[in-house]
Structures are given as structure tokens and as C-alpha cells.
Structure 1
Amino acid sequence: MAVETKLFMCRTDNFGALLHDRATGETAIIDAPEEGPIVEAIERSGWTPSMILTTHHHGDHIEANLALKSRYKLRIVGPEAERDRIPGIDDTVEEGSVIPFGNETIEVIETPGHTAGHVCYHLPESKLAFTADTLFALGCGRLFERPAPVMFESLKKLAALPGETVVYCGHEYTLSNARFALTVDPDNAALRARTDRIEKLRADNKPTLPTTIGEELATNPFLRWADPAIRKHLGMENASDVEVFTEIRKRKDNF
């Protein structure tokens, strides 16, 4: 693979990530949750970042924008729909925007739901996706600024990516997500096995990322709205896909 990703923890449960093109040396920071851990990761890597790719405006994703911009003289890229809420933003992107990165490109996917203008970043050649607070390992983001049908359409876009796409998300919520997933999909053997692996990883204080689109399609209830077993368990055999998703999200909110 021509690009390399380094994952590390910020704040209490945020993931920080660096994306690096080996051929050109270009490096991007994915969101800016906390200055110290990001600077430490940059110093360990020896890479020099040229941009921050911002997914959405929440404080735990933009807190270090201005400090990092001052330190590294980088540019900040973020969603056009949230440009007024992202400190230091230089360039805006929207659905279909393409960002040159090293010898390939980063595609922008608009995924409103968690916030009104949330975007994800997809590298089709390297088969990587940075989904922040739209798609989590075994979960999806809370619906703060847009209703369930909007998030449903956003998740459909991500579910349509190739199954081998490697996914990095914004938080270490996976163990809690797994425990909830078992309440709506209790007979899923793949989910039970994955939950066992996740419990071991967290017991050893190891991250549960990355995941893949294929693994999420097999085990993440927020992408499994059409699954007959989930529908039967919810008593929603004849409901629409979006109605099933909405019910699952409502149950997670009260879990």
C-alpha cells in the first residue's frame, strides 16, 4: 500500500490518526481532538503534516486546529456546510469533492446525521475510509443535528463501499457497541465471536480498530436493517428499512 496510517488515542476515547504517502512524504492529520498526543505522534513518526482533514465541527474533533496550524503552518480542510464552525478553515469540501494526496486522491462523502455537515474521507485506491462519528465499529453516531432518515441515507453510502475497505472511526466505543448489538442480534455467531475478541483487546488496553466495511456489514446492527433475524427479534418483519434503523437507533439511545 502506498499510504500508511498511524492510530493513537486522544482525550478520553477519541482516536487520532495520521495519514502518510510514502512516495511523496505528504502527511495529513485526520481531525484534531487534542494537541499533545497529535504532536507526540508526529514526532514519533518523523513526518511533517501539511493539512488537517476535518470531518465535523464538534469540539472534540477541532480543539487543536489553531494550535496545530500555528505550529506546522498547515492548511485546514473541512465541510462547506460547517465552514463557520471550524476554526482556521482554509478550504471547504462537499459531496464529490476530490483532494489530491500523494500519488492518489481522497474522495469526500457527505454523511449528515450526527451533525448537519459531517463528511467522511475515502481513499479508493488504498481502500481506506475515515468515518469519524458517522460509522463506528459496531455502531453509528448519535443523531444530534439531523433525523434518523438522513443518517440512514448516509450509512447506505458507506455500506456501499467495497467490503475490503479498511475503516477508521472517531471513538473507542466498540465494546459498549458490541454489548448493545447483542441485544438486537443475539443469534449472530459472527457478532458473538467478534465481541469475544473485542473484550480481550480492551482487557489488554488495545484498540479495536481498524475494522472493515465487510466486517461491519456482517455484525453492525446499524447496517443490518434488512436482516430477517434482527427484524424478527424486533417484531418488525414488515417494516421499511429506515423504520428498522430508526428503532435500533432509538434503542441504543436508551441502552
Structure 2
Amino acid sequence: MPHALHRRRAPGGPPDVRTLDALTITKVSVGPMDNNAYLLRCTETGSLLLVDAANEAPRLLSLLDGTPLSTVVTTHRHMDHWVALEAVVAETGARSVAHEADAGELPVTSDTVHDGDIITVGDCPLEVIHLVGHTPGSIALLYDDPTGIHHLFTGDSLFPGGVGNTRGDKANFASLIGDVERKLFDRLPDDTWFYPGHGKDSTLGAERASLPEWHARGW
């Protein structure tokens, strides 16, 4: 089983890298809110996709190493996940992608996606999973490695220890935990590795037994 990519280093620390057969995942924490940004590289084509241009545009651009960036996907509308988006898009010409319900809050014009849509990075497909509650247009991206396990980029909808913040709104919490349980835990196996918008990554199996506790506590 692969090791956790990020062991909660302070923002500004060196990136962590996981190499799969067809995809390389580079994870970097940017400040000041310990946001994770993920650069995905298709092995076959060299194509690049960035998940959340959260902050520190020069640092994110340095990860490209001169390779063109094709796409930036923003997992949700909260500003700490797109501070660097305008600068990265302006520098690279990459297209911006977000869910229709959140795209209007971003600082650049974005192509919109919906639940079940596929975003590609080279030869590697990423399935859009819409998870309503943290924001109306929060999404996760699922990569089903044909030679390995599932890899899931969850933004702020799922963390080790619970779902994302719904600020005490009972309806939003019910929506989010319902979507997370039905669309992620009920569908995907325990060895699915997930990468959140802040802090450490984990597996669904490590979190599954805690679902009743999350329901009971209401956050």
C-alpha cells in the first residue's frame, strides 16, 4: 500500500510525489492556510492538469518545469482554493474548469462540468463526482488506475476524520454526508486513496468505521 503523500508539513515544504503506471501525482502545500494543490502528469503524453491553484502562483508554476499546463480544475468556490488561479491561467493559457454551481464565483471564465462528466489529463480520465454541502458546486475527481487502486481528489468535502465544514447548517450537513456516503463510501473499495484540500491524505477504509460517529455528531 502506498505511503501518505503529505505528513502535514508547513506550507512551503518540498512537494511529495506518487508515481503510478500511467499518472504521476505531485502534492504541494501552499500558504497561508495549508492548502493542497495537486499536479497530475500523464506518463504517456506528458500532459499536465492542476487540481486547485490555491496560492503561491510562482511556486505552482515552478512545478511545471517548462511543460505546458492544459487544465486547472477548482474543486469549489472558496477563495483559499483559487487565489493563484488567475495568475496561473494567465501565464499558461490553461483552461479553467469547475462545477456549474460554483464556476461563477471564480475570477476567470471557466468551462463547467456536472456529476459524471469526464475530464482528461492526456490518456487518463478523471470522473467528476458532485458532492453538495460544503458549497453547492463542490466536486471530487476520481482516477480509476487500471493497474492499481482508485485515487480520489476530494477538495474540502472529505478529510481524514470527517466531512467538510457546513458551518452548522443541518441541511447542508445532511446533503454532504449523504453524498459522501452514497457516492464515495457505498461505491468505492476500502483501498481507495483520497487526497483532501488540506492536510493528510488517507483511505476510505481507514475512515469507513467512523461514518456512524460523523452522522451522530452532526459535523
TM-score by length of 2: 0.80
Instruction: Say if 2:74 and 2:82, in contact at 8 Å, map to a contact too.
Output: yes
Separation in 1, partners of 2:109, 2:152: 22
Match of 1:122 in 2: 142
The 3-state SS of whatever aligns with 1:115 is: coil
Q: In percent, how many aligned pairs have the same letter?
A: 29
Match of 1:56 in 2: 76
Matched length: 190
Give the greater-gyration-radius structure (CA): 1
Separation in 1, partners of 2:157, 2:194: 11
Instruction: Say if 1:9 and 1:37, in contact at 8 Å, map to a contact too.
Output: no
Instruction: Say if 2:142 and 2:152, in contact at 8 Å, map to a contact too.
Output: yes
1:107 to partner: Cα distance: 0.6
Which consecutive residues of structure 2, in runs of 5 or more, have no partner in the other structure? 1-20
Alignment of 1:32-71 (within 5 A): 32-34=53-55, 35-43=57-65, 47-71=67-91
Instruction: Say if 1:32 and 1:60, in contact at 8 Å, map to a contact too.
Output: no
Instruction: Say if 2:40 and 2:121, in contact at 8 Å, map to a contact too.
Output: no
Match of 2:205 in 1: 214
| Alpha-carbon distance change, 73 to 154 in structure 1, aligned in 2, over 3 angstroms | same
More helix by share: 1
Separation in 2, partners of 1:42, 1:137: 29
Q: Which has the higher contact order (CA 8 A, sep 6+)?
A: 2
CA deviation map 1:105-128 (0-9, x unaligned): 111100011111111111123521
1:92 aligns with 2:92: no
**Bigger shift: residues 71-80 or 88-97:** 88-97
Indicate the RMSD between aligned Cα atoms, in angstroms: 1.8
Which consecutive residues of structure 1, in runs of 5 or more, have no partner in the other structure? 173-207, 231-243, 251-255
Match of 1:169 in 2: 196
1:91 to partner: Cα distance: 1.1
CA deviation map 1:2-52 (0-9, x unaligned): 001001111131111101101011111101111133123333xx5432110
Instruction: Say if 1:78 and 1:89, in contact at 8 Å, map to a contact too.
Output: no
The 3-state SS of whatever aligns with 1:86 is: coil
Separation in 1, partners of 2:76, 2:59: 20
CA deviation map 1:54-110 (0-9, x unaligned): 110110111111100111110001001112112213311011111233223111100
| Alpha-carbon distance change, 37 to 129 in structure 1, aligned in 2, over 3 angstroms | same
Alignment of 1:1-255 (within 5 A): 1-12=21-32, 13-34=34-55, 35-43=57-65, 47-125=67-145, 127-144=150-167, 147-156=172-181, 157-159=183-185, 160-172=187-199, 208-209=200-201, 211-218=202-209, 221=210, 224-225=211-212, 245=215, 247-250=216-219
Separation in 1, partners of 2:121, 2:73: 11
Paired AA for residue 150 in structure 1: S
- Please identify runs of 4+ aligned residues in structure 1 that moved more than 3 A: none
Separation in 2, partners of 1:54, 1:161: 23
Instruction: Say if 1:97 and 1:108, in contact at 8 Å, map to a contact too.
Output: yes
TM-score by length of 1: 0.69
Separation in 2, partners of 1:108, 1:73: 22
